[in-house]
Amino acid sequence: MKRIVIFLLFILFSAVVVSASPASVKIGNATITVGEHVNIPITIDADEEISCATIVVTYDGDIVHVVSVSEGNFDQLVYNNTLGRIKIVTFQTGEGGLKGGTVANLHIEAKKEGYSPLNLKIETLKNNEGKKVPVTALNGFISVSSPTASPTPSASPTSTSSSSDTDTTPTPSPSPTPTLPPSPSPATTPALSPPPALTPTFSSPTPLPSPSPPSLSPSLERREIIIQIENVTIEEGEYAEVPILITGDGVKYANLTLFVPSIVEVEEVYAGDYENFLYNISNGRIEMVAYTNKHLKGTVKFAVIKMKAIERAHTAGELRLKVNEIRDGTQITVRNGQILIKEREKEELTFVILIAIMIMAITIILLMMLWRKKSIKKGEK
């Protein structure tokens, strides 16, 4: 009978543990240019059916603007949209909820160049019984760049030269027309011949814009960007801070993912040399975004990962980097790192301590010998 009771309690305990696993609510990422629109979904993944959710999204209202919100897989959706903040309430009208799917879709317009986090706050998340469900929020971001209009300067010199030709062709055309009135066809021929003669005269003002296209080409040259994470050795149960480095001239934006082996546990992620830094930690990987308006030169710190060794000694793993997006670089080299857990170093006695112990031992022996001699002399007396 006792075995049956224990077995039933074990089943109940297992059911409680399974139901207690947290749900996850995630908002996507996007990269667009000024004036463009993008649709970013908010999704949910849970082990039990969700019937109601209240979610608040905050963002930088100077960079982007949420134009509207559309329904996802839930039956009903209500939202309150203000600059930099939007509150969404979604729920199911039927008997059952949803275990996964899209909560809502944000229709966003890019206002100006920059980077805006998309931060989630889950106010309520309830199951079919109206009970709160533990949840983990995964934030996102949106990157806005200025439209690239580099070919336009090359077109401006051609347009000015053509307009100048049309303005100047009437001046030479009256001179040939009175001299050759009978033959219109030869008249057209001299009318076409002056433009080649006139182009040298108008080539003197054009050297100012003409060097601009060649000056753009050096900025488009291939530049190698090296992204690396250093190798590290950690003692059992100890901590280590591992930097992620970027070598390259003027890298203002980088979106990276670091895959961390299970032999360590990530304690904290610190920002490096970039002014703005965002990150998410989930399932053994760290999603990171860093950006700045400054011009960074040489080798800079992208981030610093603080981790703890949780496995036994003589275990190793790979710190693998993935480049999701990077600006101002066309040739990217990724150098992954290795992590090794070693035994704790035993505190060995130094040479000085050994000498001190030996001196103390000799002193004690000498004192004992003197004490013994004195006791022998006293006995002889």
Digit-by-digit pLDDT tens for the chain (381 residues) are 555 445 545 544 444 444 457 899 999 899 899 999 999 999 999 999 998 899 999 999 999 999 999 999 998 888 999 999 999 999 887 778 888 899 999 999 999 998 899 999 999 998 888 889 999 898 988 988 888 654 444 444 443 333 334 344 444 444 444 444 444 444 443 444 444 444 444 333 434 343 333 333 333 344 688 999 989 999 989 999 999 999 887 788 889 999 999 999 999 999 999 988 888 888 888 999 888 877 888 899 999 999 999 988 888 899 999 998 887 666 889 999 999 998 887 655 566 788 888 899 999 998 888 888 777 777 666
Give the pLDDT confidence score for residue 380 in this predicted structure. 65
Distance between CA 227 and CA 326 in Å, rounded? Answer: 10
pLDDT at 177: 42
pLDDT score at 249: 77
CB-based contact 43:145 (threshold 8 Å): no
Contacts of 355 (CB under 8 A, 6+ apart): none
Cα separation, 23 vs 57, in Å, equals: 18
Report the distance separating Cα 277 and Cα 192, nearest Å.
Answer: 62
Q: How many CA atoms lie within 13 Å of 342's alpha carbon, on the beta-carbon side?
A: 9
Phi, psi of 155 (to 5 degrees): -80, -25
CA distances from 2 to 7, 9, 13, 15 (A): 9, 11, 16, 20
Residue 158's identity, in one-letter code, is: T
Q: If DSSP codes are grouped into helix, strand and coil, which group holds residue 116?
A: strand
Q: What is the CA radius of gyration of the chain?
A: 37
Name the phi and psi angles at 40, rounded to 5: -115, 120
Q: Identify the pLDDT of residue 381.
A: 60
Which tens digit of pLDDT belongs to each residue from 352-365? 788 888 899 999 99
Q: What are the structure tokens assigned to 90, written together?
A: 């979604």
- Is the pTM value of this prediction over 0.85? no
At 119 the three-state DSSP class reads strand
